[in-house]
Amino acid sequence: VLKGVIFDLDGVIADTAVVHHAAWKRLASEIGVAFDDSVGERIKGVDRRGSLDILLERTARAYSEEEKEALASRKNDYYRQQIETFGPQHLFPGARHTIESVRRAGLKTALASASRNAPLLLERLGIADLFDYVVDANHIGRAKPDPEIFLAAARGLGLEPSECLGVEDAAAGIAGIHAAGMKAVGVGQAQALAEADLLVPNVAAFDIRLFTA
């Protein structure tokens, strides 16, 4: 029986995937690395350092640890500059309603975000109070597609993984949800999310009654 829903943040609840994308693209162009949509899709949902490693696959130059740290933090500065200006208007249409509907249906809600900026973003969006439990990259060691973050979210809700459903916009996230033993709802384009158990075009189209009826 379904008792909880675990939401991803970036690209599901708020339109930050494009902000991450733009920040990486800016960094890539500054260091002369090619950045196309296929790289963009691969880094989606992947943590900061993992994303940088994917970006640097295309360069012949060897970067030291210090240089990599500096590049990752430069990207984060670009990202945060944008996030600082965010407010509730940056929620995807229907995001608040969808999460509230899940709660009204008597289910618990958790947030599982690979972003260390998740607490700042939740506060800016004004939705911190909609989650019974929040796990972000500050609390976990292994990034998506590892199941750790989703298992931690289920544990935080006091539920078994099999009682939870995960909602994700990234292939790495869908893989992590499945590895955790949960059903996965994909939000977005079919191509990238072929593994999802159910696909919806956006968070507004996610209807909990499809799972509880």
Query: Which of 3, 116, 155, 183 touches ligand G16 (CB under 6 A)?
Result: 116
Q: What backbone phi and psi angles, to 5 degrees, belong to 185?
A: -105, 125
Identified binder of ligand G16 from the candidate list 19, 27, 99, 115, rule CB under 6 A: 115
Which residues have C-beta within 8 Å of that of residue 50, sequence separation ≥ 6? Answer: 43, 143
What is the CA angle 184-189-192, rounded to 5? 70
| 170 neighbors 45 (Cβ within 8 angstroms) | yes
From residue 144 to residue 183, the character string flagging contacts with ligand G16 as x (rule: CB under 6 A) and all else as - is --------------------------x-------------
49 labelled binding-site residue: no
Least distance (Å) between residue 137 CB and ligand G16: 5
Q: Which of 9, 165, 177, 196 is the binder for ligand G16 (CB under 6 A)?
A: 9
Would you say 101 is a known binding-site residue? no
State in angstroms the smallest separation of the CB of 72 from ligand G16.
Answer: 8
CA 148 from chain centre, in angstroms, equals 14
How many Å apart are CA 12 and CA 63, to the nearest integer?
A: 33
Where b means 16+ CB within 10 Å and e means fewer, 64-99 reads eeeeeeebbeebbebbeeebeebeeebbbeebbebb
Contact letters for ligand G16, residues 29-48 (x by CB under 6 A): --------------xxxxxx
Q: Which does 178 bind (CB under 5 to 8 A by kind): ligand G16, Mg ion, none?
A: none
Q: Binding site for substrate, residues?
A: 8-10, 24, 43-48, 51, 75, 113-117, 144
Residues tagged active-site = 8, 10
